[in-house]
Structure 1
Amino acid sequence: MKPPARRPLLGALAAAAAFSCLLLLAPPPLLFPSSSSSTNHAPTSPYAHRPKLLFLLAGQSNMAGRGAPTSPLPPPYLPHPRLLRLAADRRWVAASPPLHADIDTHKTCGLGPAMPFAHRLLLSSPSSANPAPSSVSGPAGEEDGRLVLGLVPCAVGGTRIWMWARGEPLYEAAVARTRAAVAGGGGELGAVLWFQGESDTIEVDDARAYGGKMERLVADLREDLGLPNLLVIQVGLASGEGNYTDIVRDAQKSINLPNVILVDAMGLPLSDDQLHLSTEAQLRLGEMLAQAYLEFESSRDPRL
């Protein structure tokens, strides 16, 4: 017999997510908790006005990151001068973990997959043969031809997929932040990195509706961002909060849309809570996401 599903207080969860969305849409600095104060006061990056290859980070806690920090941090989590993060106040700052500290404000954020993902892309770029130093130097907007990456954190822990539907605060915040990221220095959106669904394993109706809602989300993002061929890389669940993880995983595997890729996290090590990915798992997942993106780019028809 399966153990009973954990049933969080969904009303309180929705209220917490809605409050986080208000911070995303119009973030008042004085309302941020002290844990994110250092990110709010981070200096604007000298690369802020450079065109960037952008990545929208969306979903729930495993995208926001719950991996336990280690000392010293693994190299893929160290800052890099050409790796930027769009802060909650929509300034481009140097990316450093936790990336979602001023976004997913109701939980303690840790290490996620986005920093290892970005470091792998930087290493794979032509400029990696002459790596930049670990601190930012040089004038803003310097046109040296080197790849600059911009991460746009939007994930909020404990959210269900209906909270990401068009018209809901999370969705509108993600679209608004992505538009602001493009406007803030230019560039293009390379992909959406999506890791969500653990909370949709609690109720069977949510699990069965997951596939249709995910396809609707992809279509709406592409329409509202004006990118009909936008790449979406979704992570297959490694765990769930309830008894219906297999139903959600089957729905993820069955998404029938072009330019939607599944990277399966099943089998990666979990933390003690058996829900969140460990630091080791997040490192490996970041590599897997980067490999999927690079393979997609190498196979894409340049005429499209």
Structure 2
Amino acid sequence: MKLLKGLIFLMIITQAAFAQPDIPKRKFHLYLLAGQSNMAGRGKVEEQDKTTHPRIWMLTKDNTWELATEPLHFDKPPVIGVGPGFAFAKAMADADTNVVIGLIPSAVGGSPIEVWEPGKYYEPTKSHPYDDAMKRARIALQKGELKGILWQQGESDSDSLHAGLYADKLQSLVARFRNELKIKSLPFVAGTMAEFYVNGHPCAKIVNEAIMKLPEQVKNTSFVSGAGLTEKGDQTHFDSVSARELGRRYAEVFKKLYN
């Protein structure tokens, strides 16, 4: 009996390791997760975060598909954790049981918005945030349809030198994504920074205002509020509970954009 159970377990592991989403392209809804560490996730990974969902997949670091579990990202392996992406995907999967959700984790901790431009290199992670995200998006598009971009970023631009430039850079970023991906009205939702960060960084308020005004400037965009969310003890990153709540808030906004 023990041998039989062992063989069954091995078969399950093997199938999961080599599984690929086998569904019509139009039913595989893709979402690009972009920005910096609060999108990548720094919350503590708990059991619920490690439990897969049969209709939620993620594009791995090696650009292969596997059932999603936290941590989704790989930008800074020693500190990665729970972000908003998985909770967002669960809410979207629950909202439409006829589709499969595909996540494209592409956030890079610490990255300012200026490195989210073609050719820009980010030394701390030895990566090209924008170029890498675009490359991963194009790979994912071979399997499904891109339904939106989630953008959680701003801490690295919350100073007197950069905050005033953020609005223009954000609008340019949206236009660039849409132009290069050839999706004219691709939904784009940006998240604001929480009070715990703004309280310690006054210029973050300027960045948040730019994010909240984005829908007035660019069609088919919206924002998610970070109000009321809590930090993990470092005055910068969301704890696990708040990261999941942020993901659900993203889902609510996306559902409104679709209606």
For this structure pair, what is the TM-score category when the shorter chain's length is used for normalisation?
A: 0.7 to 0.9
CA shift, 1:50, in A, is 4.7
- Paired with 2:76 and 2:241, the residues of 1 have a C-alpha distance of 24
- Paired with 2:149 and 2:238, the residues of 1 have a C-alpha distance of 20
Equivalent residue for 1:248, pick from 207, 211, 214: 207
1:81 aligns with 2:37: no
Aligned partner of 1:275 in structure 2 is 236
Name the count of aligned residue pairs.
230
- Paired with 1:224 and 1:249, the residues of 2 have a C-alpha distance of 26
Q: 1:48 to 1:84 in 2, by over 3 A?
A: farther
- Paired with 2:131 and 2:193, the residues of 1 have a C-alpha distance of 24
Equivalent residue for 1:266, pick from 220, 224, 227: 227
Aligned partner of 1:43 in structure 2 is 17
- Paired with 1:123 and 1:269, the residues of 2 have a C-alpha distance of 25
CA shift, 1:190, in A, is 0.6
Higher helix proportion, which one?
2
Aligned partner of 2:184 in structure 1 is 228
Aligned partner of 1:189 in structure 2 is 146
Aligned partner of 1:55 in structure 2 is 31
Aligned residues: percent identity?
34
Equivalent residue for 1:163, pick from 115, 137, 142: 115
- Paired with 1:49 and 1:105, the residues of 2 have a C-alpha distance of 32
Aligned partner of 1:301 in structure 2 is none
- Paired with 1:89 and 1:244, the residues of 2 have a C-alpha distance of 37
8 Å contact 1:59–1:196 — kept in the other structure? yes
Q: How does 1:65-144 map to 2 (within 5 A)?
A: 65-70=41-46, 72-73=47-48, 78-100=51-73, 103-125=74-96, 127=97
Q: How does 1:9-28 map to 2 (within 5 A)?
A: none
Letter in 2 for 1:233: V
- Paired with 2:90 and 2:77, the residues of 1 have a C-alpha distance of 27
Aligned partner of 2:7 in structure 1 is none
Q: Any idea what SS the aligned residue of 1:214 has?
A: helix
Letter in 1 for 2:184: P
8 Å contact 1:107–1:157 — kept in the other structure? no
CA shift, 1:89, in A, is 1.2
CA shift, 1:111, in A, is 0.6
Which moves more between the two structures, 54-63 or 288-297?
Answer: 288-297
Aligned partner of 2:8 in structure 1 is none
Pairwise CA RMSD:
1.7
8 Å contact 1:45–1:84 — kept in the other structure? no
Equivalent residue for 1:174, pick from 117, 133, 146: 133
Aligned partner of 1:205 in structure 2 is 161
CA shift, 1:166, in A, is 2.8
- Paired with 1:157 and 1:111, the residues of 2 have a C-alpha distance of 13
Letter in 1 for 2:52: P
Letter in 2 for 1:248: V
Aligned partner of 1:149 in structure 2 is 101
CA shift, 1:211, in A, is 0.7
- Per-residue Cα deviation, 1:196-224 (whole angstroms, up to 9, x for no partner): 001111x3121111111111110111000
8 Å contact 1:195–1:235 — kept in the other structure? yes
Unaligned 5+ segments in structure 2 are 1-15, 121-127
CA shift, 1:44, in A, is 3.3
